[in-house]
Structure 1
Amino acid sequence: MSIAPSPSQPPAGKRIRLSRADRLRQLIDISWRIVREEGTDALTLPRLAQAAGVAKPVVYDHFGTRNGLLAVLYRDYDLRQTAVLDTALAKSGPTLTDKAAVIASAYVACVLTQGNEIPGVLAALAGSPEMDRVKRDYQLAFIEKCRATLAPFAGERGIGNAGLWAMLGAADSLSEAAASADVTPEEAEVELSDIIVGMVDRQR
């Protein structure tokens, strides 16, 4: 399946000199399009170079390896997920129920927005050092954000790590169930929100 030119992909025969940051953004955007339209298996560095209309060394210079490219895609997803959550929390109400509902809805919505793209990226990276590193970084950042957000509603002991890791596991499982249509997004959000409230209540 061919990929039509877009604002980040100049028509064939026309080369536009981009800054390194702009070129990286272009390559990331085209990578997501390849994954969405052709599947993760189709995403290789030579395929990306072809789709972007650049020489192969340009792509290798940015990502090094296919795993390096996939790790960058996961980080890109993580950054967008974090931005969505930050915005939603800033606009949310002041109660524990408000905060829990926002965390739940933002998490599920971000997974659904990526459809089958993120599971494919995760599957391709499974067991690699790159995946272990980027996923661990994401998990720790998310847990600390939730701890800071929910701490005002907990007791003096604060919120323990075990509860936060259990919450994250539930968030992943419920989001995946919603993505595969085993439950509705609304059911996943309500259940996750209840789990978060219950976790905090136990700390009081």
Structure 2
Amino acid sequence: MTTTAARRRMSRDDRRRQLVEVARRVVVEEGADALTLGRLAVRAGVSKPVVYDHFGTRTGALVALYEDYDRRQTGLLVAALDAAERSLAAQLATVARCHVACVLDHGAEIGGVVAALAGAPDLAEVKRRSDERYVETCRRAITETDPSAEWTAAAAIAFLGAADALSEAALRGDLARDEAEAALTDLLASQVVVGTRPDRGRACPP
């Protein structure tokens, strides 16, 4: 089968995944400013109408790229938590390690996407949903490890801000990677209160 025929037979979902991956390579190799729908079409070897059909606008392509990044990083976090020791300390350290690793591995790439989306109404909603999923993943790891542990919504908001700040400091070289991980682990451990939630299923006293 020729390359052209293979492209023609690609399903819509596979095509979108291909375009998102090509968009990611454009951002990594050329920067987010280079990502236009025309450039994406050329790099993917498809016509412009195909790209427009999937994303509509450049903003749509950037949002799709951010959402793909979020899904991949959430998947890596869940896998790391599943593989970690089932102790609260180990789970918290895994959250911290994964957050720092995410920024160090992809911070420049995704930072360019976020900067390119600055002011776009879609970004705020996408980031809100992303933060909610991330916090829920972390909270589930905490409470499933110790059902008596509590991590408040206010603490989660503070954690997100500190996690990004510490990780970005490591990306700039202002902090060593292990320093950022240790500081973030300590912060998260200080936020989680253990022994305050009633055990599920416990009978009420007479």
Fold match (TM-score > 0.5): yes
The partner residue of 2:125 within 130, 133, 137 is: 133
2:7 matched to which residue of 1?
Answer: 16
What is the TM-score of this pair, normalised by structure 2? 0.86
1:79 equivalent in structure 2: 71
Match of 1:4 in 2: none
Q: Name which one, 1 or 2, has greater alpha-carbon Rg.
A: 2
- Residues 154 and 200 in structure 1, CA contact (< 8 A), matched pair in contact too: no
1:26 to 4, 18, 21: 18
**Per-residue deviation, 1:122:** 0.5
**Residues 35 and 42, structure 1, Cα contact 8 Å, conserved in 2:** yes
Q: Secondary structure at the match of 2:192?
A: helix
Amino acid at match of 1:66: R
Find the aligned partners of 2:105 and 2:47 in 1 and give their Cα distance: 31
- Once residues 195 and 62 of structure 2 are traced to their aligned partners in structure 1, the CA distance between those partners, rounded to angstroms, is 38
1:94-124 CA-partner distances (Å, limit 9, x unpaired): 2221011100111111222214110000111
Which digits, 9 at most, give the CA deviation of each residue in 1:137-157, with x for residues without a partner? 00011112222222354757x
* Contact 2:151–2:193 (8 Å) recurs in 1: no
Q: Distance in 2 between matches of 1:115 and 1:150?
A: 26
Distance 1:124 1:154 in 2: 41
Match in the other structure for 1:110 = 102
In the TM superposition, 1:113-192 aligns within 5 A as: 113-151=105-143, 153=146, 155=148, 158-192=150-184
> In 2, distance between residues paired with 1:169 and 1:73?
22
Deviations 1:50-71 (A, max 9, x none): 1111110100010111111111
Task: Give the partner amino acid of 2:159.
Answer: M
Structure 2: distance between partners of 1:87 and 1:15: 33
Whether 2:44 is the aligned partner of 1:52: answer yes
SS at match of 1:116: helix
Matched to 1:186, the amino acid is D
Shift >6 Å, 4+ stretches = none
- The total of aligned residue pairs comes to 192
Q: Compute the displacement of 1:34 (Å).
A: 0.9
TM-score by length of 1: 0.87
What's the C-alpha RMSD, in Å, of the aligned pairs? 1.9
The alpha carbon displacement at 1:47 in A equals: 0.7
Letter paired with 2:64: V
Q: Secondary structure at the match of 2:188?
A: helix
Tell me what 1:65 maps to.
Answer: 57
Which consecutive unaligned segments of at least 5 residues does structure 2 have? Answer: 197-206
How far apart, CA to CA, are the structure 2 residues paired with 1:105 and 1:96?
14
Give the 3 Å change call, closer, same or farther, for CA 23–177 of structure 1 in structure 2.
Answer: same
| Gapped regions of structure 1 (runs ≥ 5) | 1-9
Contact 1:170–1:192 (Cα < 8 Å) also in 2? yes
Distance (whole Å) between structure 2 residues aligned to residue 26 and residue 133 of structure 1: 24
Distance (whole Å) between structure 2 residues aligned to residue 55 and residue 145 of structure 1: 39
Q: Which residue does 2:190 correspond to in 1?
A: 198
* % identical equivalent positions: 48
